[in-house]
C-alpha cells in the first residue's frame, strides 16, 4: 500500500468514537457546550453564507444537503428523513457531516451526525427555551417519544431548569422506552395516556413527531396562556404538527425564515405573517418573551448553522485525543499536477 500524505488524511469520527466522546465529556455537559457554540455563531449570523437546504424528495422520504460557511470554514450535513423507516427497523433520520477549509477547499473533518444531530437539535431547542420559556418553568410535556425525545428532556433539564417531564406518544411502547431511559437521570418522569394529560401543568410543550403529513398534535383549546411551544417535528413541506389557530395566537420565532416558510409550521400561514429570527433575539435586536401570558412558539426546522457549530465543536473536542481515525480520502500527490504519476507509481 502506498503511504498517503498528511494532507490526504481526513480525521473521521465514527459512531463508536462519537459515543465514546459523549461519555468522556458527559451528555448534558456536551449538549450545553454545543449550545454555547450555537449561541456564539447565531450572534454573528451576518457573517454566514446562508441558503435553504437542498432537498431531494421522494414518496419514501427526503434526503437533504445543508451547507453553510463563515468564510473561513465550510460545513455541510447530509441528512435523510424517512418516517416510514421506523416500521422497517431503520432510523427515521441518519446523518453525517463534513468541515472544510475555505482557503484550500480541503476537508478537515468527517463525522457521523446521527448522534450529533440529536445533540445539536436538543441544544438548539434548550438554547431557545432559555430565551423564550417562562423563567419559572419546571415541567415540560414531551409529545412524541422517539429517537430525539430523551435528548430533548435532558437538554431542558440541563439548560432551562426543567425537573419534570410528562411523556406522550401514540405508541405506548415508545413512551415506556423513553421513561425507562430517563430513569436515574434526575428527572421526575410521568408517562401519560393522552396529549391532554401530558400538557397538564406544563410550561413548556415540546412536539417531536415524525409523520410526513399535516398532523394536528396540538389543537387550539389545549394551549393555555404563558406556554412555550418547542415544535421540532414539522420540518418538511406538507409535514406540520400544530393547528393553525395556535399559530395565530402565538408569537412565532424561527431560525431562518427563508427555510422555515417552506418547511415549518408557518407554511400554513400567509407568506408575510410576522416572525422573529432567533439570532435577533440573541443579539438583543428583537424582543423574546415580553409577558407571562404570551404564547411563544419556536417553529424549529433545523438550520445549517447549528450543524456548522456542532461540527466545529467536534473538531476542537477531538484535537489531541484518540476519538477519531485518519481517513485516506484525498488524493494528494507530491507534485499537485501529477495525479497521473501518483496513480502510475501505485501500480
* Residue 307 touches a second copy, criterion: CB under 8 A: no
Residue 123 to residue 102: CA distance in whole angstroms: 26
Check binding of 8 to a second copy (CB under 8 A).
Answer: yes
Binding flag, residue 146, a second copy (CB under 8 A): yes
Q: Comparing C-alpha atoms, which of 108, 126, 112 is closest to residue 39?
A: 126
Catalytic residue of the set 169, 235, 299, 307? 235
**Which residue of 43, 44, 47, 54 would you call a contact of a second copy, by CB under 8 A?**
54
Least CB distance to a second copy at residue 125 (A): 15
Given the complex with a second copy, which of 178 and 231 has the nearer CB atom? 178
216, 242 Cβ separation under 8 angstroms: yes
4 binding a second copy? (CB under 8 A): yes
**What is the rounded CA–CA span in Å between residue 261 and residue 284?**
23
Contact flag: residue 332 with a second copy (CB under 8 A): yes
CA distance 133 to 130: 6
Chain residues 102-141 in contact with a second copy, contact rule CB under 8 A: 102-107, 112, 114-115, 118
Confirm or reject binding of residue 227 to a second copy (CB under 8 A). Answer: no
Q: Which of 303, 308, 309 is nearest to 255 (CA)?
A: 303
Range 25-44, binding a second copy (CB under 8 A): 27
Segment near a second copy (CB under 8 A); pick from 16-24, 127-135, 226-234, 312-320: 16-24
C-alpha cell at 179: 421513561
Write out the three cell numbers for 135. Answer: 423563567
Longest dimension (CA), the chain: 73
CB neighbours of residue 25 within 10 Å: 16
Q: How many residues does the chain have?
A: 347
Please report whether residue 96 would count as binding a second copy according to CB under 8 A.
Answer: yes
* Cβ neighbours around 338 below 10 Å, total: 12
Query: DSSP string covering 154-171, please?
Result: HHHHHHH---EEEEE-SS
Q: Which is nearer to a second copy, 179 or 223 (CB)?
A: 179
**Cell numbers representing residue 180 in the block:** 425507562
Nearer to a second copy, 69 or 267 (CB): 69
Least spacing, CB of residue 281 vs a second copy, in Å: 27
Asked if residue 12 binds a second copy (CB under 8 A), the reply is yes
Residues 170-199 that bind a second copy (CB under 8 A): 174, 177-178, 181
State the nearest-atom distance from the C-beta of 332 to a second copy, in Å. 6
Active site residue 6: no
Q: CB nearer to a second copy: give 32 or 114.
A: 114
User: Quick one: 153 or 223, whose CB is closer to a second copy?
Assistant: 153
How many residues bind a second copy, per CB under 8 A? 85
Minimal distance, residue 140 CB to a second copy, in Å = 16
Alpha helices in the chain, H assignment, sequence order:
15-25, 27-42, 114-132, 149-160, 172-182, 195-198, 244-249, 257-263, 278-282, 304-318, 339-345
Written as one string, the DSSP assignment of 37-63 is HHHHHHTTGGGSB----EEEEETTEEE
Question: x/- site string to a second copy, residues 241 to 280, per CB under 8 A?
Answer: ----------------------------------------
Kind and range of the H or E element at 64?
A: strand 61-69
CB closer to a second copy out of 287 and 343: 343
Sign of torsion, CA 276 280 281 284? negative
77 is a site residue for a second copy (CB under 8 A): no
Please say which residue, 213 or 337, places its beta carbon nearer to a second copy: 337
Closest CA to 76 of 41, 42, 50: 50
Amino acid at each position: 500500500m502506498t503511504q498517503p500524505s498528511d494532507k490526504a488524511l481526513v480525521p473521521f469520527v465514527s459512531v463508536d468514537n462519537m459515543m465514546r466522546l459523549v461519555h468522556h465529556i458527559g451528555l448534558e455537559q456536551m449538549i450545553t457546550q454545543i449550545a454555547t457554540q450555537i449561541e456564539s455563531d447565531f450572534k454573528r449570523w451576518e457573517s454566514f453564507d446562508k441558503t435553504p437546504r437542498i432537498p431531494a424528495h421522494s414518496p419514501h422520504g427526503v434526503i437533504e444537503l445543508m451547507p453553510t460557511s463563515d468564510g473561513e470554514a465550510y460545513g455541510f450535513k447530509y441528512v435523510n428523513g424517512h418516517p416510514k423507516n421506523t416500521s422497517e427497523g431503520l432510523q427515521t433520520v441518519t446523518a453525517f457531516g463534513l468541515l472544510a477549509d475555505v482557503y484550500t477547499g480541503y476537508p478537515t473533518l468527517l463525522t457521523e451526525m446521527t448522534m450529533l444531530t440529536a445533540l445539536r437539535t436538543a441544544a438548539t431547542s434548550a438554547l431557545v427555551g432559555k430565551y423564550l420559556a417562562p423563567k419559572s418553568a419546571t415541567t415540560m410535556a414531551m409529545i412524541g417519544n422517539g429517537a430525539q425525545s430523551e435528548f430533548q428532556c435532558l437538554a431542558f433539564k440541563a439548560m432551562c431548569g426543567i425537573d419534570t417531564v410528562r411523556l406522550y406518544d401514540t405508541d405506548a411502547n415508545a413512551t415506556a422506552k423513553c421513561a425507562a431511559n430517563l430513569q436515574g437521570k434526575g428527572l421526575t418522569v410521568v408517562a401519560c395516556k393522552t396529549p391532554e394529560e401530558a400538557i397538564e401543568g406544563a410550561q413548556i410543550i415540546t412536539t417531536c413527531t415524525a409523520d410526513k403529513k399535516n398532523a394536528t398534535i396540538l389543537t387550539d383549546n389545549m394551549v393555555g396562556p404563558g406556554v412555550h411551544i418547542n415544535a421540532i417535528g414539522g420540518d418538511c413541506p406538507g409535514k406540520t404538527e400544530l393547528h393553525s389557530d395556535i399559530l395565530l395566537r402565538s408569537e412565532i420565532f424561527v431560525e431562518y425564515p427563508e427555510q422555515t416558510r417552506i418547511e415549518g409550521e408557518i407554511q400554513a400561514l400567509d407568506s408575510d405573517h410576522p416572525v422573529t429570527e432567533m439570532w435577533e433575539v440573541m443579539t438583543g435586536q428583537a424582543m423574546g418573551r415580553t409577558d407571562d401570558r404570551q404564547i411563544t412558539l419556536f417553529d424549529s426546522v433545523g438550520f445549517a448553522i447549528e450543524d456548522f457549530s456542532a461540527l466545529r465543536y467536534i473538531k476542537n473536542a477531538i484535537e489531541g485525543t484518540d476519538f477519531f481515525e485518519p481517513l485516506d480520502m484525498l488524493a494528494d500527490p507530491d507534485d499537485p499536477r501529477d495525479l497521473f504519476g501518483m496513480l502510475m507509481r501505485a501500480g
